[in-house]
Structure 1
Amino acid sequence: MELKSTNQYLRMTVRFLEVAHRRYNVGLWATVAVLLSRPRRGRVVVNVGELNRLLNDGDVAVVPGKVLGDGELSKRVTVAAWAFSKTAISKIKANGGEALSIPELVRRMPKPSGVKIIT
């Protein structure tokens, strides 16, 4: 798959996910790479209020897009995303959760189990 983005960090992240998919034989990383390869207007945008509704306490989730700070988060979750707003990071950390980059999550959990993709 050829990514036409001019954002060098995005291109490196997609390549990193493709290599992780081949190395660990995990389809989740290939799926996240495809979702990040979409045009900007087709990428996922999720508010922390929606994360609160979709996730349970202690869940790990991947957002192949941006997490915004609208809404309230009352659960302790680990969220990996392409980008976070400052408000989203503060709300996630206020409950004892973690906000990670996608490559950080891959390094921590190369063969994930129970990781949810939020689209």
Structure 2
Amino acid sequence: MKRTGPTNILVRKTIRALRSAAHRNNAPIWRYVAELIDRPRRLRVEVNISKINRYTKAGDVVVVPGKVLGAGSIDHPVTVAALGFSSQAVEKIRAAGGRVLHILQLLEENPRGSRVRIIV
């Protein structure tokens, strides 16, 4: 039987770590993020900076279970964690005073997942 699901080792490691943290810390937010990442690549989320700007305020922590793209602008500092970022997105988030993290880095900082928003 052929294996299904993500073949990228970093994505598989991320999914395993999220499920483990959800169980260990009783944090269902990480289980949901793991489910969203475990989808086929063509169904994975791609979010533009403009959407993050629209649905957040200064100081928010956001998880994107996919890739962040650089279309639009952002005018307040936010912490964004995702699987991947375009180079323009990284520049715009940092120029606004925000932080760019991989989901595993955010998981280490906030294992309970408190005050984290998911943008899909």
TM bin (shorter chain): over 0.9
Letter in 2 for 1:14: I
Deviation at 1:52, TM superposition (A): 0.5
Unaligned runs of 5+ in 1: none
Whether the 8 Å contact between 1:61 and 1:79 is mirrored in structure 2 is yes
| Separation of aligned partners in 2, 1:116 and 1:59 | 8
Normalised by the size of structure 1, how large is the TM-score? 0.95
Report if aligned partners of 1:76, 1:97 keep a CA contact under 8 Å in 2: yes
Partner residue of 1:7? 8
What's the counterpart of residue 118 of structure 1?
Answer: 119
Q: Partners of 2:37 and 2:4 in 1: how far apart?
A: 9
Match of 1:38 in 2: 39
Where in structure 2 are the equivalents of 1:1-119 lying within 5 Å? Answer: 4-119=5-120
Question: What's the offset of the Cα at 1:77?
Answer: 0.2
Structure 2 unaligned spans of 5+:
none
- The AA in structure 1 aligned to 2:31 is A
Provide the secondary structure at the position in 1 that maps to 2:7: coil
CA RMSD across the alignment: 1.2
Runs of 4+ in 1 over 6 A off after TM superposition: none
For 1:21, the aligned partner's letter is A
Secondary structure of 1:35's counterpart equals helix
1:3–1:11 contact (8 Å) kept in structure 2? no
Give 3-state SS (helix, strand or coil) of 2:100's partner.
strand
Work out the CA distance in 1 between the residues paired with 2:118 and 2:95: 22
1:111 positional shift: 1.2
Q: Secondary structure at the match of 2:94?
A: helix
- Per-residue deviation, 1:112: 2.4
Name the TM-score, length of structure 2 as normaliser. 0.94
